[in-house]
């Protein structure tokens, strides 16, 4: 079976070079987003705030994501409960199920799943919308009308994402715990009040706070990456798709990295 | 002697290794329609984008009245842009806004604050000027190419600019609509006493609007003159446009 061995060094080198290049591209993207953050911050503190654009973006982010987050939240709660139940039954610890699921959802599943959904839904839509505005010269038209496009388009979107993602995360937590109650009731008969009592007996404020803080960072990452990719899209129509796609990929990867850092910091506290 | 509104001297602009403008010198005088003619890729659009500082020039000098663009402070640039209206190739209407909101947008960005009543009056008047009063509450997606160009022009005119820059105003339009837009450019000049630079390679449009023509070739001015001078020139390159 010698023909199955990866003895073609060209293929191996090319594959390794591709991976290396992708890593380099990703870190260049991260560096550019950080640099972009600088000009966004400058505009947040030095220009007049576009309140109506901010409220419009908040509405759009909430409105676009709430349905998907509701469905995903319920399913995550259900699945987590159904999968965790058998081992807990085996160890006679089934009473711990509501608390365990609640902590999992509040500390990790709620913030991460919400952020990943929003990276797909909001990040891509920001990338595509701003990319298409770039391609059709709407951003140039804005600049010629003496409007700073970073102040008008980017700042409200980034702040709206930073504010809305924690709110959506809290909503996902509630819906996920409700899903868990449904999951428990497939096999047992537990009242909603008893379930909630058992669930929140195990949850402490220290479980909620780091999760909320990290969801603010998740929101900022989604807003920044989506806007950066769209605002810096190329001039051809093809760049709109590229901007939307790379906004999702870069934001999702960055979210996981931010989550890893957040977990490490929380662990130290 | 006519008043110079825009003075462009030895302007160069490159993108990477590609030299687009290689030392362009020209002037725009008061109350004239100056057509810049040339093949695609000769840097016509790049030149007018340099005038409003959407692109930064590499060397040379662009002066709009007393303001030198390259060395302008942010405040000066705002003043320059107040004097200039820019009609983009695809009209660049804001997709998410109605025609009314598109026209309101530049008015709310000026130092002078208008009341809602004043804004409505201005919008209705400018829509009359471009013969599209019925489009006021439509979305850009509901408008045809020619209507978009008219609304784009209305958005430009609503702030009373002194200078208008048209980037290929008739591109992508049928001959009848192209002709209407060309007529509108002339009407705008006569009614509002504006001076315009019109970028185009549509000869019908050139014949309708041009007071003076500058032809660009390979990033430099190839010929400058009136329409009749161009039409009677024996140069084969020039004739390839006019025949």
Per-residue model confidence as pLDDT tens digits over B51-64:
999 999 999 999 99
Buried b or exposed e, range A110-135, using 16+ CB within 10 angstroms:
bbbbbbbbbbbbbbbbbbbbbbbbbb
* Residue A35 pLDDT: 84
On whether residue B66 sits in a domain, the answer given is: yes
Q: Which of B103, B106, B166, B89 is nearest to B137 (CA)?
A: B103
Environment class of residue B214 by beta-carbon count within 10 Å: exposed (0-12), middle (13-18) or buried (19+)? buried
Q: Which residues of A touch B82 (CB under 8 A)?
A: 146
Q: Which of B165, B162, B140, B166 is nearest to B151 (CA)?
A: B140
On whether residue A12 sits in a domain, the answer given is: no
Angle made by CA atoms B35, B41, B45, in degrees to the nearest 5: 45
Least confident window among A4-8, B103-107, B183-187: A4-8
Q: Which residues of A touch B105 (CB under 8 A)?
A: 145, 147
Tokens for B131, please give them.
């013969």
CA-CA distance, B27 to B9, in Å (whole number)?
Answer: 8
* Structural domain total, chain A: 1
Is B95 close to A136, i.e. CB distance below 8 A?
yes
* Residue B2 pLDDT: 77
Nearest-by-Cβ selection for B92 from A136, A146, A147: A136
List the alpha helices (DSSP H) in chain A.
9-46, 51-90, 97-104, 110-118, 124-135, 138-144, 149, 155-187, 192-202, 205-231, 238-268
Domain that holds residue B176: 4-90+162-242
Q: Which residues of B touch A141 (CB under 8 A)?
A: 86, 88, 92, 94
On whether residue B125 sits in a domain, the answer given is: no
Q: Are A222 and A120 in contact (CB under 8 A)?
A: no
Cα B51 to Cα B3, B154, B193, B238: the distances in Å are 18, 21, 20, 26
* Residue A2 pLDDT: 45
Q: Is some CB atom of chain B closer than 8 A to the CB atom of A151? A: no
Domain that holds residue A102: 50-268
Residue A102 has pLDDT above 80, yes or no: yes
Residues B78-102 have a mean pLDDT of 92
Residue A1 has pLDDT above 50, yes or no: no
Buried b or exposed e, range B126-152, using 16+ CB within 10 angstroms:
bbebbebeebeeebbeebebbbbbbbb
Q: Which residues of A touch B110 (CB under 8 A)?
A: 146
CA-CA distance, B220 to B217, in Å (whole number)?
Answer: 6
Q: Is some CB atom of chain B closer than 8 A to the CB atom of A146? A: yes
Q: Which of B69, B85, B239 is nearest to B169 (CA)?
A: B85
pLDDT digits (tens, 9 = 90+) for B143-175: 998 899 999 999 999 998 999 999 999 988 888
Residue A63 has pLDDT above 50, yes or no: yes
Query: DSSP letter string over B5-29?
Result: EEEEEEEEEEETTEEEEEEEEEEEE
**Å between B54 CA and nearest CA of chain A:** 7
**Å between A136 CA and nearest CA of chain B:** 6
CA-CA distance, B10 to A154, in Å (whole number)?
Answer: 36
Query: DSSP letter string over A51-93?
Result: HHHHHHHHHHHHHHHHHHHHHHHHHHHHHHHHHHHHHHHHTT-
CA-CA distance, A61 to A118, in Å (whole number)?
Answer: 8
ipTM of the complex: 0.89
Place of tokens 């005038």: B51
Confidence of residue A9 (pLDDT cuts 50, 70, 90): low
Residues B210-219 have a mean pLDDT of 93
Angle made by CA atoms B211, B214, B218, in degrees to the nearest 5: 165
Q: Is some CB atom of chain B closer than 8 A to the CB atom of A133? A: yes
CA-CA distance, A259 to A169, in Å (whole number)?
Answer: 14
Environment class of residue A189 by beta-carbon count within 10 Å: exposed (0-12), middle (13-18) or buried (19+)? exposed
3-class state of residue A172 by DSSP: helix
Nearest-by-Cβ selection for A143 from B54, B82, B95: B54
Q: How many interface pairs between A and B have CB atoms less than 8 angstroms apart?
A: 43
Nearest-by-Cβ selection for B109 from A133, A136, A145: A145
Q: Which residues of B touch A140 (CB under 8 A)?
A: 49, 54, 86, 88, 92
Place of tokens 């130290």: A268
Cβ-Cβ contacts under 8 Å for B66 (sequence gap 6 or more):
none
Is B86 close to A146, i.e. CB distance below 8 A?
no
Residue of B nearest to A142 (CA): B106
Q: Are B200 and B230 in contact (CB under 8 A)?
A: no
* Structural domain total, chain B: 1
CA-CA distance, A151 to A234, in Å (whole number)?
Answer: 21
Please name the helix (run of DSSP H) or strand (run of DSSP E) that holds residue B212, with its range, or none: strand B212-217
* Residue A204 pLDDT: 87
On whether residue B111 sits in a domain, the answer given is: no
Tokens for A263, please give them.
């977990």
Residue A10 has pLDDT above 60, yes or no: no
pLDDT digits (tens, 9 = 90+) for B61-88: 999 998 999 888 888 888 899 899 999 9
Q: Which residues of B touch A137 (CB under 8 A)?
A: 88-90, 92
Buried b or exposed e, range A226-249, using 16+ CB within 10 angstroms:
bbbbbbebeeeeebbbbbbebbbb
Confidence of residue A3 (pLDDT cuts 50, 70, 90): very low
Q: Is some CB atom of chain B closer than 8 A to the CB atom of A144? A: yes
Confidence of residue B210 (pLDDT cuts 50, 70, 90): very high
CATH number of the domain to which B187 belongs: 3.40.50.300
Environment class of residue B154 by beta-carbon count within 10 Å: exposed (0-12), middle (13-18) or buried (19+)? buried
On whether residue A234 sits in a domain, the answer given is: yes
CA atoms within 13 A on the CB side of B21: 26
Q: Is some CB atom of chain A closer than 8 A to the CB atom of B173? A: no
Tell me the Ramachandran region of residue A126: left when phi exceeds 0, alpha when psi lies from -120 to 50, beta otherwise.
Answer: alpha
CA-CA distance, A128 to A109, in Å (whole number)?
Answer: 27
Average pLDDT, chain B: 91
3-class state of residue B228 by DSSP: helix
On whether residue A129 sits in a domain, the answer given is: yes
Q: Is some CB atom of chain A closer than 8 A to the CB atom of B50? A: no
Residues B28-41 have a mean pLDDT of 92
Tell me the Ramachandran region of residue B114: left when phi exceeds 0, alpha when psi lies from -120 to 50, beta otherwise.
Answer: beta
Confidence of residue A8 (pLDDT cuts 50, 70, 90): low
On whether residue A94 sits in a domain, the answer given is: yes
Q: Which residues of A touch B109 (CB under 8 A)?
A: 145-147
Is A137 close to B90, i.e. CB distance below 8 A?
yes
On whether residue A151 sits in a domain, the answer given is: yes
Place of tokens 């000769």: B42
* Residue B156 pLDDT: 92
Is B49 close to A133, i.e. CB distance below 8 A?
no
Residues A128-149 have a mean pLDDT of 92
Is A140 close to B54, i.e. CB distance below 8 A?
yes
Average pLDDT, chain A: 89
């Amino acid at each position: 079976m010698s023909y199955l061995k990866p003895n073609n060094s060209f293929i191996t080198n090319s594959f390794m070079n591709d991976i290396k290049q992708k890593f380099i591209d990703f870190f260049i993207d991260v560096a550019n987003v950080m640099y972009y953050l600088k000009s966004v911050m400058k505009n947040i503190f030095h220009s007049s705030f576009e309140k109506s654009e901010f409220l419009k973006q908040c509405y759009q982010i909430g409105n676009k994501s709430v349905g998907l987050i509701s469905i995903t939240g319920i399913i995550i709660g259900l699945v987590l409960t159904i999968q965790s139940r058998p081992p807990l039954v085996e160890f006679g610890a089934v009473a711990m199920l509501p608390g365990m699921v609640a902590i999992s959802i509040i500390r990790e599943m709620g913030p991460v799943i919400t952020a990943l959904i929003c990276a797909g839904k909001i990040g891509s839509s920001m990338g595509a919308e701003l990319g298409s505005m770039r391609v059709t010269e709407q951003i140039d038209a804005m600049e010629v009308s003496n409007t700073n496009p970073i102040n008008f388009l980017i700042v409200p979107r980034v702040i709206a994402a930073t504010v809305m993602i924690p709110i959506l995360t809290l909503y996902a937590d509630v819906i996920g715990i409700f899903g868990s109650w449904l999951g428990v009731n497939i096999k047992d008969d537990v009242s909603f009040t008893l379930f909630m009592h058992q669930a929140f007996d195990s949850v402490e404020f220290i479980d909620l706070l780091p999760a909320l803080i990290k969801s603010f960072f998740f929101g900022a990452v989604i807003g920044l990456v989506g806007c950066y990719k769209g605002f810096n899209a190329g001039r051809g129509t093809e760049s709109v798709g590229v901007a939307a796609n790379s906004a999702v990929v870069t934001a999702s990867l960055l979210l996981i990295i931010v989550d890893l850092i957040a977990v490490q910091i929380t662990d130290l506290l | 002697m006519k008043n110079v509104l825009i003075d462009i001297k030895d302007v160069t602009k490159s993108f990477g290794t590609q030299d687009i403008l290689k030392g362009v010198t020209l002037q725009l005088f008061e109350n004239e329609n100056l057509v810049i003619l040339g093949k695609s890729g000769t840097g016509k659009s790049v030149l007018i984008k340099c005038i409003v500082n959407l692109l930064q020039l590499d060397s040379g000098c662009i002066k709009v009245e007393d303001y030198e663009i390259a060395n302008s402070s942010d405040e000066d640039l705002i003043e320059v842009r107040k004097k200039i209206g820019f009609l983009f190739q695809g009209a660049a209407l804001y997709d998410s806004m109605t025609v009314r909101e598109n026209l309101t947008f530049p008015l709310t960005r000026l130092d002078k604050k208008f009341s809602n009543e004043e804004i409505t009056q201005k919008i209705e008047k400018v829509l009359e000027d471009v013969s599209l009063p019925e489009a006021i509450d439509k979305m850009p997606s509901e408008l045809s190419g020619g209507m978009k160009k008219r609304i784009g022009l209305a958005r430009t005119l609503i702030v009373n600019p002194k200078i208008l820059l048209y980037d290929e105003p008739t591109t992508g339009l049928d001959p009848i609509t192209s002709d209407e837009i060309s007529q509108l450019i002339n009407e705008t000049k006569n009614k509002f006493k504006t001076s315009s630079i019109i970028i185009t390679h549509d000869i019908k449009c050139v014949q309708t609007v041009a007071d003076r023509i500058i032809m660009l070739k390979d990033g430099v001015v190839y010929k400058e003159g009136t329409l009749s001078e161009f039409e009677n020139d024996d140069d084969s390159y020039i004739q390839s446009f006019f025949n």
